[in-house]
Structure 1
Amino acid sequence: MKVKLKYGQADRELSISEKAVVSLLNPSTIPVIENVDEAFEKAMDSPLGGNSLETMDPPASIAIAVSDETRPTPTKLLLPLLLKRLYKAYPDLTPNQVTVVVGSGLHPPLDEEGMRRVVPESIASGCRVVVHDAIHSTMTDYGATSRQTPVVINKDFADADLKLIIGNIDPHQFVGFTGGAKGAVIGCRSQGAIEANHALMFDEKAHVANIEGNPVRLDIDEAGNMIGIPLVVNVVLDAS
């Protein structure tokens, strides 16, 4: 039996035994957003389960965690929109009060060229941009979750008055689904703390597309609450 699957920018054909029972699970087709600016503003006006920026006290500093190159998050599209909204919500805010932290997690930290690809100078608008290094970055220790995983986070992110995340949501082999606080709680966390969280993957509920009772996902969410992340901008890929 021949089965063709999408892989990267192309297709891969697999040969599978005729004895195997094969099911292909395809994502639902949803309309592509035609006007991203308008959709972004609408979402920011009424965020799910939280308050809009305008209802929060003006911060003295802001940190925005963004994905590295291993994720399909359209940072180049979303970051300028978020910055525009921040400057509108807080008229006295200046670019030097904003730090963009590229969350590498356990991936090798981006070099200067990679950082510019993720966050070009043209869209950073004078903001400070740093790349998280899970081994060498200076950290802030928030203690531990109820599952005894350390919450040790990049100091540049932790020190900000207002902490925000830009990321994407997709199925994950043991988190269930990515998104939410994961962009900072894993992306901007120390190596040992990430490994402690990932050690929870051996629980039977830690599997793809499940968040109910999933200890890895629940631990991430608890750590996010400890840090204090009032707003996350998440997007979802379509089938293409």
Structure 2
Amino acid sequence: MTDTLEATADLARQAARIGGPDQMLSEDQVIAFIQERLAGVDLDSRSVCLVIPDGTRSCPLPLLLKAVHGALAGRVSRMTALVALGTHAAMDEDHLAEHLGYPAGNLDATYPGLTVLNHEWWDPRTFVSLGTISAARIEELSGGRLRESVDVRLNRAVVEHDVALVVGPVFPHEVVGFSGGNKYFFPGVAGEEVIDLSHWLGALITSADIIGTRGITPVRALINEAAALITSDTLGLCVVAQSGTGALHSVSFGNTASAWASAAEVSAETHVRYLNAPVKRALAVIPTKYEDLWTAAKGFYKLEPVVADGGEVILYAPHITQIAAMHPEINEIGYHCRDYFVKQWDRFKHVPWGVLAHSTHLRGAGTYDEENGECCRLTVTLATGIPEDVVRTANLNYLDPGDVDVAAFQADPETFVVPQAGEVLFRLR
């Protein structure tokens, strides 16, 4: 681990950065930094693909995109913004307009010459294969946890441009340690093969052990290996945003690895909070940017480390009415701890591994054996608009959201209430 921390620190020093954990940047500072950095890169007459986040991340994307567009318009031959959906639902025109900051139906009014694309992960024509990572190399990268070759498929828009510029935030992340950087390619605009393999690797390590881990985790190493196959030049504009507001602590610029490493240093000091003792119960108040349980589960990931054995995490999200429309398999298998799947692998190996990973991440730590069955460390309770029968069939606990009194929970000394849950990680000292 020391070696990976030193390697990450070396990478971070290679990037240019403005701001830090204890700072808040003005819009003028952000714009000036972006324009200065992009002016120093040879982009004239080259095509540029901007890989940007979807609506599930706190980020002042209109500010960043306007600064980038202003620095590149008239210089580059072609400019495309590709929304890194991973396997999330596509953003419609109204959502895109709000997200990017232009009048709905009139992209050209704000971003003349820009093309905006959703990552159409459901369409095989979206992808081009960059090559294969061998089973032996996967075994090495995964620390022996997996031995399986993987076809590295990526959205063809990335490789059909001369330069790919990742523009987006960095937060603690349940699969990779800290999000951002090359993760915008894999899984952001990748084929299901790398998505499934990387997420299942994270699940084998477990969310509680990998989330907020500094340095190059095995999953980050796998993502970087895949990104090394990209033929376009790759650059990163990685920001650290104040959760829930989008105001910026820092902006880092470099290649995708160095810009990420620089931002991850700031995120580790900004987005991780520490408690002195475990809590019996946590109430995660889920913001409306998470529209289904697939994304709202981040409220659990960020709180699992501080809840005592036998305790409970309540996800309070009355606005959520479905588990995951894009991933119906989760309704069939429900939510279970890692060992429930690993020790019954023949039953579940056919299920997409990304779905299995999501299942284990939300159910948290636990054990399974044939004699005693499944025993999970925590109770996971949904106080959502998802019907009770669906919740219980998915192996989760149900609470009527109409019975949730947030103020009463806040007054309860045994309950830890987190508003705007999902981005800030809580750990024990």
**TM-score band, normalised by shorter chain:** 0.7 to 0.9
Relative to its length, the structure with more helix (as a share) is 2
Query: How far apart, CA to CA, are the structure 2 residues paired with 1:43 and 1:149?
Result: 36
Q: Larger RCO: Structure 1 or Structure 2 (Cα < 8 Å, ≥ 6 residues apart)?
A: 1
Give yes or no for the alignment of 1:158 onto 2:159: yes
> Identical aligned pairs, as a percentage?
24
The normalised TM-score by structure 1 is 0.74
2:62 matches 1:76: yes
**Structure 2 matches for 1:44-59, cutoff 5 A?**
45=36, 54-56=40-42, 58-59=44-45
In the aligned structure 1, how far is the partner of 2:163 from the partner of 2:171? 25
Match for residue 219 of structure 1?
A: 222
Q: Provide the C-alpha distance between the structure 2 equivalents of 1:69 and 1:30, rounded to a whole number of angstroms.
A: 26
Deviations 1:16-54 (A, max 9, x none): xxxxxxxxxxxx9622112x23334336646xxxxx553
Whole-angstrom CA distance in 1 between matches of 2:210 and 2:170: 15
- The amino acid of 1:162's aligned partner reads V
| Cα distance in structure 1, aligned partners of 2:173 and 2:217 | 12
Q: Which AA in structure 1 matches 2:240?
A: V
Match of 1:113 among 94, 115, 119: 94
Q: What TM-score do you get using the length of structure 2 for normalisation?
A: 0.43
- From 25, 34, 38, the equivalent of 1:33 is 25
Let me know the Cα RMSD of the aligned residues: 2.6
Which residue of 2 is the match for residue 130 of structure 1?
A: 117
- State the structure with more CA Rg: 2
Equivalent residues of 1:101, 1:131 under 8 A apart: yes
Give the deviation of 1:117 after TM superposition.
Answer: 2.3
Unpaired segments ≥5 residues, structure 2: 1-19, 139-148, 245-429
The verdict on how the C-alpha distance between 1:110 and 1:215 changes in structure 2, with shifts beyond 3 A counting, is same
1:143 aligns with 2:147: no
Residues 92 and 58 of structure 1: CA distance in aligned 2, closer, same or farther (over 3 Å): closer
Give the whole-Å Cα distance in 1 for the aligned partners of 2:206 and 2:85.
27
**SS across alignment from 2:190:** coil
Residues 182/229 of structure 1: CA separation in 2 closer, same or farther (3 Å cut)? farther
Q: Does 1:234 align with 2:238?
A: yes
Instruction: Select the residue among 60, 76, 80 that pairs with 1:93.
Output: 76
CA gap 1:53/1:218 in 2 versus in 1, 3 angstroms: farther
* Structure 1, unpaired ranges of 5+: 1-27, 47-51
Instruction: Output the amino acid matched with 1:237.
Output: A
Q: CA deviation at 1:113?
A: 2.3
- TM-superposition CA deviations, 1:38-79 (whole Å, max 9, x none): 334336646xxxxx5534353431110111111112211101
Partners of 1:135 and 1:192 in 2: CA distance: 13
Paired letter, 1:101: L
Match in the other structure for 2:85: 104
Kindly indicate whether residue 180 of structure 2 is the aligned counterpart of residue 189 of structure 1: no
Distance in 2, matches of 1:219 and 1:69, equals 25
Distance 1:200 1:44 in 2: 38
* Aligned pairs for 1:173-188 within 5 A: 173-188=174-189
1:114-162 CA-partner distances (Å, limit 9, x unpaired)? 2222233243323111100212152111113342343211111221011
Q: Which runs of 4+ in 1 moved over 6 A?
A: none
Which amino acid letter does the alignment assign opposite residue 77 of structure 1? L
* Deviation of 1:108 (Å): 1.2
| Equivalent residues, number | 202
- Equivalent AA in structure 1 for residue 184 of structure 2: G
**8 Å CA contact retained: 2:34, 2:67:** no
**Distance change (3 Å), C-alpha of 1:80 and 1:175:** same
Measured after TM superposition, the shift of residue 230 of structure 1 is 2.9
Could you tell me whether the CA contact under 8 Å between 1:102 and 1:131 is conserved in 2? yes
What SS does the aligned partner of 1:226 have? coil
